[in-house]
Structure 1
Amino acid sequence: MLALFPLIILYAGTVALFALTRENASGIAVYWGYFVPVIGLISLVTAWGNAYVRGDSRLFYLAKQIIIWGALAWVLTILHKMGVDSALGGQKAAVTLIMMTALVALLVGLYLDTKMVVYGAFLGFCGYLLADPGHSAILVKIGEPFKVVDPANKPVTMVIAVAIVAFLVAAFFLLSTRGSAASKRSS
């Protein structure tokens, strides 16, 4: 259960920030900015076993993670210093930050950690709903299997449902990696 705690933080934090961003809370981009290093740290810690299972150098793995997440932090710092967040406004700056983080999470997932692909796709889905709330027809298709009445008008409920499914898929990848590491150690 302890292995799943970082994923719980990841998905619960994203859902909470999504709800706050949707309510157009002032200064919400700052909170997303504080959450990006948390995402990077969780990515680093929870995928440590992947390097062991694949037989990769852990130092090389650590360097890749630091370079990728450090580059995102560097770009976000430059954009903040240029005043992009204040020029765009709170919600637009938050959506920009979300989409950039989703892209980085997808890239990390493709190259280093499969469960981050799932999280990156989930984060991109959240960013899409925030960027284009008028076109939430996708929620109708997603709401059908969950039996949600009028899902287009319940984006937070739908994000919670998608977060649960994404969490379960990511947990499967995490636990399968831990199982592979345990079998490698025993042999």
Structure 2
Amino acid sequence: MLALFPLIILYAGTVALFALTRENTSDIATYWGYFVPVVGLISLVTAWGNAYARGDSRLFYLIKQIIIWGAFIWVLTILQKMGIDSAIGGQKAAVTLIMMTALVALLVGLYLDTKMVFYGAFLGFCGYLLADPGHSAILVKLGEPFKVVDPANKPLTMVIALAIVAFLVAAFLMLSTRGSVAAKRSS
């Protein structure tokens, strides 16, 4: 259960920040900015076993993760110093930050950690709902399997449902990796 705690933080934090962003909370981009290093750290920690299970060097894995997330945080710092938040507004800055983080999570997922693909897709979906709340017709199709009545008008409920599904897939991938590591150690 302790191994799943970082994933719980990842998805619960995203849902909470999504809810705050929908309410137009002031300085919400700052909170998302604080959350990005948390996402990077969770990506680093939860995929540590993947490198061992694949037989890759953990040192190179660590270097790759630090380069990817470090470069991304560096770019965000530069944009912050340039005053992008105040130039485009808090809500738009938050959506931009969400979409950029989703892209980085997808890339990390493709190259280093498969479960981050699901988180990146989930985060991108959250960004899409925040960027264009009027076009939430996709929620109708997604609400059918969950038996949600009028899902187009309940984006937070749908985000929570999708967070649970993405969490379960990521947890399965994490536990299967742990099984691979245990099998490799025993042989």
How many Å separate the matches in 2 of 1:174 and 1:149? Answer: 33
Q: Which amino acid aligns with 2:97?
A: L
2:156 is matched with 156
How many Å separate the matches in 1 of 2:129 and 2:182? Answer: 39
Per-residue CA deviations over 1:163-184 (Å, capped at 9, x if unaligned) read 0000000001000000000000
Question: Helix, strand or coil for the counterpart of 1:42?
Answer: helix
1:83 is matched with 83
1:109 is matched with 109
How many Å separate the matches in 1 of 2:123 and 2:162? Answer: 10
How many Å separate the matches in 1 of 2:37 and 2:168? Answer: 23
2:167 is matched with 167
How many Å separate the matches in 1 of 2:103 and 2:94? Answer: 14
Q: How do residues 4-153 of structure 1 correspond to structure 2 at under 5 angstroms?
A: 4-153=4-153
1:184 is matched with 184
Point out where structure 1 has 5 or more consecutive residues left out of the alignment. Answer: none
What is the number of equivalent residue pairs in this alignment? Answer: 187
How many Å separate the matches in 1 of 2:125 and 2:178? Answer: 28
Task: After TM superposition, give the deviation of residue 152 of structure 1 in Å.
Answer: 0.4
Task: After TM superposition, give the deviation of residue 103 of structure 1 in Å.
Answer: 0.2
Question: Helix, strand or coil for the counterpart of 2:63?
Answer: helix
2:3 pairs with 1:3: yes
Task: After TM superposition, give the deviation of residue 79 of structure 1 in Å.
Answer: 0.7
- Output the TM-score relative to the length of structure 2: 0.99
Question: Helix, strand or coil for the counterpart of 1:24?
Answer: coil
Query: Among the aligned pairs, what percent are the same residue?
Result: 90
How many Å separate the matches in 1 of 2:56 and 2:17? Answer: 35
Alignment RMSD (CA, Å): 0.4
How many Å separate the matches in 1 of 2:172 and 2:109? Answer: 14
Question: Helix, strand or coil for the counterpart of 1:149?
Answer: coil
Per-residue CA deviations over 1:103-161 (Å, capped at 9, x if unaligned) read 00000000000000000000000000000000000000000011101100000000000
Point out where structure 2 has 5 or more consecutive residues left out of the alignment. Answer: none
Question: Helix, strand or coil for the counterpart of 1:80?
Answer: helix
Q: Which amino acid aligns with 1:17?
A: L
Runs of 4+ in 1 over 4 A off after TM superposition: none
Task: After TM superposition, give the deviation of residue 34 of structure 1 in Å.
Answer: 0.3
